[in-house]
Structure 1
Amino acid sequence: MIPFSNGFGMYGQLKQAINNKPPRQLTFCTDFDKTIVINTFIDRGWKQVEPTEAWNLYWANTSNCRSIFNVGNGVSLNDYQLINHFPKHYELVRKDLLVRNIKKYRKELEKEGNPLAEKCEVIQGNHKITRYLHLDFIPVTYGLPSDYNLFVEEYRRYPNSKWILKPTSKSQGEGIFLINNLSRLKKWSRESRNYLHHRFTNKDSYVISRYIDNPLLIGGKKFDLRIYVLVTSFRPLKAYMFRQGFCRFCAMKYDTSVAELDNVYVHLTNVSVQKRGVDYNRLHGGKLGMQNLKLYLEGTRGREVTERLFREIQWLIVHSLKAVAPVIANDRHCFECYGYDIIIDADLKPWLIEVNSSPSMTPTTRNDGILKRKLLENMLSVILPPNGIPDARWRKTPNDRALGDFELLIDETRLCTEDS
């Protein structure tokens, strides 16, 4: 497929294609050579075309989506066209912006006197700290280099804690590492000075977060949850959660010793990292279905606490979306499927680690392929009207049958109706 960066300069062609009449046959285009994506559309009878031709649905990469919505390009989508990203999706998926928006959201609720922003005092180590009672679902996080002094203050209060450093705009575990002392961070900073100067002058940055060092373990191994969340509108907010999420396990048993601090196969759950290890199981891909996790927790912790855990997971998803809703550029042509990464600690408290705008549609196992195919099919059933023809004027209110394995998280249009 033709990337905008190589030819859209060819914006005239794109504009021409968009100004054309609707294609007689339903059409799609994609920037990805992903079999699951392509076959899902083809099996529905859709025809694959180029982005410069008349299309009904564009499964785009994020940069091409931003290019389409760039005001200077003079492109305006028709009612019969849908695209799979919101223009300012990065307000949710960039690690630094996600944290900034959640902090701002909490402060605004606090200023309003909203009970959701209630605080409480807890003992942490030898210190008494104040934290949010209901909205404490992201680890303590600072941006680097801008918040370096604030981070140092926090580190000195808790000198025995571990921290995890991540590039804000990278994915799949790239560039992530752990530190347990300031000298290690300073050493990294010195060695990376030229690189950092280049990165920061290009408006990139890093985040450093307190490491969740008491994760819930199964079979002695650390895992996180990958949950798919479909958003069809940010204002009003409409979001759905796919019931068939899964756990992603580390291949090696969890070990908090300093000797294993750099061992990615102990600490990082990303499949792209784990599949490079000799202990990676290619049969099940280091994955466990969410329903099996629920059964395990009900058997070991009880049904009541398990149900509370999953209510809290839904809570944090909804409020992370509410935090970014005011700054996301909402557009009726857009929908987006986000990959939420959540870690559960030993006390069964969920922590939001990050959100992905383009969760992988490449299957790692046969079962993974089945799951992702179902995810795509269900997604199309939710975003398309009952007649199956894309229409941006449709209010995206699917019936229960169309939802399939999606469950409604929030629909603010219903809330308004119920309140009136």
Structure 2
Amino acid sequence: MSSQGEDRALIFRLSDNVPEVVRQVLLERSWQEWDEDLHEEYDWNLHWRTTRFRVSDYNQTMSWQRLNHYPKTDAITKKDCLARNLRRMRGVFGPTVYSFSPQAFNLPNDYTKFVAEYTKLKQAEPDKPHFWICKPADMSRGRGIFIFRDLGELTYDCQAVVQRYMTNPLLISGYKFDLRIYVCVPSFHPLTVYIYQEGIVRFSTEKFDLSTIDNVFSHLTNTSINKFSPSYSTDKERVGPGCKWTLSQLRTYFHQSNLDDRMLWQRISNIVTLTLLCQVPTVPKAPYCCELFGFDILIDENMKPWLLEVNFSPALSVDCQADLLVKKPMLHDFVEIMNFKESDCERGGQEFRASKINASYSATSPRYSRTLRRRSSFNSKPSPRGSMLSTGNGKEDISTPTNNNNSTQARVSTSKPKEVQTPRRRYSYPLNRQSNPSAQVGNPGVNRTETSRRVSVSGTPTSMTSSRPRRPLYQRTTNPTQDSDNKSRAQGPLPRVGDFILTYPFNEATKKASWPNVDQRSIIRELQR
């Protein structure tokens, strides 16, 4: 039984394998950790897992609780599902909109199609080598990935994805790199998207060379692989030791190298939103969730971004200074987006706890269940938290079941949860419209400067210690009525929470196109403006 002091603190519950930095961040925020010897099973506010929750976990979540994963997000977080859904959206809305991912085939189902494409390219350009990359569909950290040129080199013993290998990546002093972009989704219904201003740049540790496609240290950027490279700790030209930068370091490099990145971040935001719209139809309404995705983006020599994959439960371990500068502040802001209220510390209050005790006493009676009536199952219609989103009439758009705290008896729950039947197709939106100057995401509502996140790495740009305010990566048109942090969150999603920038919805038209049903073609028109 929790004490009175603990009733006034938020409580977090961590499953196995959660990185230590998550615990550190929550303790720094004066949270307390759940203890099975001190707390009841329901007596927590945030449950954090690196794996997926069970359906029953979502059905039993109370209004004061949050889960860090939505159900059924594998439409974009499994490589084969992502390839299939992007191909489907490309067929519906055209290759002009969905042209941000390399051509891909799912094996073994698409093997015949892949062979046909391989043969066509060989016949069209017999003297030009064409490279492909094969990835296991449901593995992470670079495991099982290999690059090949000849069809005879393709071998696989599990479901896999074969993609055109990008042979023209943008290089820094000859080293390949990609971006880890952190994306927070506090709501899928309606879709609400925040992109973190900072991020991780991951380098290969040996120079890019197409004549050595079997050298993983040259072609893969996964930290889990490159930390074993003989060159990992060496001071590499312009890159420095290790294999990571922050996005701020990359932007400084672009500036010093006279590379125009003005459209790059807009395009990345477009990619994020378009990809998430592949996922919207399959996610049941589960309002007390908040998801952090990791989008892996490769930039080619023409400064065009390409989506490589979307990571479920992106790695949060802290291996270097760049990790520390990015991940810890990002987690603080992620918790802010969850928008816990002071009343959540009560976790139902004394009357609720008394009813739980009485329910356990009556468990031997067949008339009563062991649990109170829960919030909802997937076939109910709760809206995202009213503190973040509104119906437009000034009232909170939130559907929270009322626990009958005046009764000492538990409510019987006899119905089984049913999945929502949703349309098969949904679509996504754009980025970086010219914002109202007073509503710029770079507006110092949060007074953070580049010096607060700067890391000094040997061989990296020397101007990284500049104290100039960070130029916003992602800009959106925001409603002027949302321009002040003093406005209630019930007015709509905040344009900025810490360094998380609201990138969708970005105007009234996209709000209307997202709720209650997704108007895909209207969204496309807004995206292309």
CA–CA separation in structure 2 for the residues paired with 1:384 and 1:68: 23
Structure 2 residue 62 is the aligned partner of structure 1 residue 86: no
Counterpart amino acid of residue 246 in structure 2: G
The verdict on how the C-alpha distance between 1:361 and 1:79 changes in structure 2, with shifts beyond 3 A counting, is same
User: Which residue in the other structure is 1:175 paired with?
Assistant: 144
Pairing of 1:135-214 with structure 2 (within 5 A)? 135-159=98-122, 160-185=129-154, 188-189=155-156, 196=157, 199=158, 205-214=159-168
The verdict on how the C-alpha distance between 1:321 and 1:387 changes in structure 2, with shifts beyond 3 A counting, is same
Q: Give the Å deviation of 1:332.
A: 0.3
CA–CA separation in structure 2 for the residues paired with 1:375 and 1:42: 15
CA–CA separation in structure 2 for the residues paired with 1:412 and 1:350: 21
Aligned 8 A contact 1:91 1:328 in 2: no
Match of 2:281 among 326, 329, 351: 326
Structure 2 residue 80 is the aligned partner of structure 1 residue 96: yes
The verdict on how the C-alpha distance between 1:416 and 1:356 changes in structure 2, with shifts beyond 3 A counting, is closer
Q: Deviations over 1:289-328 (max 9, x none)?
A: 212222322343444xx11111111111110011221122
CA–CA separation in structure 1 for the residues paired with 2:506 and 2:262: 24
User: Which residue in the other structure is 1:219 paired with?
Assistant: 173
Q: Deviations over 1:98-138 (max 9, x none)?
A: 121222223333xxxxxxx3xxxxxxxxxxxxxx2232001
User: Which residue in the other structure is 2:336 paired with?
Assistant: 381
User: Which residue in the other structure is 2:265 paired with?
Assistant: 310
User: Which residue in the other structure is 1:27 paired with?
Assistant: 11
CA–CA separation in structure 2 for the residues paired with 1:264 and 1:255: 11
CA–CA separation in structure 1 for the residues paired with 2:29 and 2:137: 37
User: Which residue in the other structure is 2:204 paired with?
Assistant: 250
Aligned 8 A contact 1:249 1:286 in 2: yes
Give ranges in structure 1 of 5+ residues lacking alignment: 1-16, 110-116, 118-131, 190-195, 200-204
User: Which residue in the other structure is 1:293 paired with?
Assistant: 250
The verdict on how the C-alpha distance between 1:323 and 1:262 changes in structure 2, with shifts beyond 3 A counting, is same
CA–CA separation in structure 2 for the residues paired with 1:302 and 1:34: 36
Q: Give the Å deviation of 1:220.
A: 0.5
Counterpart amino acid of residue 261 in structure 1: I
User: Which residue in the other structure is 1:406 paired with?
Assistant: 500
Q: Deviations over 1:50-85 (max 9, x none)?
A: 58452110011323x135457xxxx42111110000
CA–CA separation in structure 2 for the residues paired with 1:156 and 1:78: 56
Give the structure with the higher percent strand: 1
Over aligned residue pairs, what C-alpha RMSD do you find? 2.6
User: Which residue in the other structure is 1:352 paired with?
Assistant: 307
Counterpart amino acid of residue 98 in structure 2: L
Q: Give the % identical residues.
A: 32
Match of 1:362 among 317, 326, 333: 317
CA–CA separation in structure 2 for the residues paired with 1:233 and 1:181: 44
Structure 2 residue 231 is the aligned partner of structure 1 residue 279: yes
SS in 2 for 1:85: coil
Structure 2 residue 259 is the aligned partner of structure 1 residue 270: no
Please say which of residues 336-345 and 407-416 is displaced more in the overlay: 407-416
Counterpart amino acid of residue 49 in structure 1: W
User: Which residue in the other structure is 2:25 paired with?
Assistant: 40
Aligned 8 A contact 2:297 2:305 in 1: yes
TM-score, normalised via structure 1 length = 0.78
CA–CA separation in structure 1 for the residues paired with 2:135 and 2:176: 19
Q: Give the Å deviation of 1:367.
A: 3.5
- Aligned length in residues: 355
Aligned 8 A contact 2:84 2:106 in 1: no
Please say which of residues 383-392 and 171-180 is displaced more in the overlay: 383-392
User: Which residue in the other structure is 1:120 paired with?
Assistant: none
The verdict on how the C-alpha distance between 1:386 and 1:79 changes in structure 2, with shifts beyond 3 A counting, is closer
Aligned 8 A contact 2:244 2:322 in 1: no
Aligned 8 A contact 1:102 1:324 in 2: no
Q: Give the Å deviation of 1:40.
A: 0.9
SS in 2 for 1:396: coil
CA–CA separation in structure 2 for the residues paired with 1:86 and 1:45: 26
TM-score, normalised via structure 2 length = 0.63
Aligned 8 A contact 1:238 1:412 in 2: no
The verdict on how the C-alpha distance between 1:66 and 1:211 changes in structure 2, with shifts beyond 3 A counting, is farther
The verdict on how the C-alpha distance between 1:155 and 1:405 changes in structure 2, with shifts beyond 3 A counting, is same
Give the structure with the higher percent helix: 1
Q: Which has the larger radius of gyration?
A: 2
CA–CA separation in structure 2 for the residues paired with 1:79 and 1:319: 30
CA–CA separation in structure 2 for the residues paired with 1:308 and 1:34: 34
CA–CA separation in structure 2 for the residues paired with 1:221 and 1:46: 42
Q: Give the Å deviation of 1:375.
A: 0.7
